Amino acid sequence: MKKEVFLAVFVGFALGLIITFGIWTANKSLRPVPVTSSPTPSAEAGVEPTPPAAQVTLSVSDPVDESVTSTSTVTVTGKTLPSAPVIITGEGVQSIVVADNAGDFEQDVKLEAGYNRLTVSVYDGQGNSVSKQLLVTYTTSKI
């Protein structure tokens, strides 16, 4: 009987070490790699440094988050980078609109009865993006 208990403790200890090593290895491989910055070229070398890219911004002015409406469509309006593609997704709806030269965009979106979670996303030329989520409730009840 003592042999079986000793064997069970030993096997449990070995399995615990193997599992712990696996978790440690997975965490180590999932850590982000530190980014080292390269030296910036100086103007003395005849190379002009590139200006930093504009940061992606997004503001949605209409509809207001958690709003209730009695109309089956809502106009999503907002402001972002000039000429940036804006993607609006919702309950069975996907729309792509391009912001004008001032960065303003506007798109009509059809709503389904009940809660509608709308996601408005904008992307720049470098692949950076910003998203905002809105909850709009469409009801046929008198408001």
Extents of the domains making up the chain: 1-30, 58-138
Check residue 27 and give its pLDDT.
Answer: 73
Q: In the predicted model, is pLDDT for residue 95 greater than 80?
A: yes
Integer angstrom CA distances of residue 100 from 5, 79, 103, 106: 75, 9, 5, 10
- The string of pLDDT tens digits covering residues 118-143 is 888 888 877 788 888 888 888 887 76
Per-residue pLDDT, 28 = 72
The least confident of 22-31, 58-67, 84-93, 107-116 is 22-31
**What is the CATH number assigned to the segment(s) 58-138?**
2.60.40.10
Strand ranges (E), the chain: 58-62, 67-69, 73-80, 85-90, 93-98, 104-110, 114-123, 129-138
Q: Is 76 or 35 the better-scoring residue by pLDDT?
A: 76
Per-residue model confidence (pLDDT) at position 21: 80
pLDDT digits (tens, 9 = 90+) for 40-75: 555 555 555 554 555 878 888 888 888 888 888 888
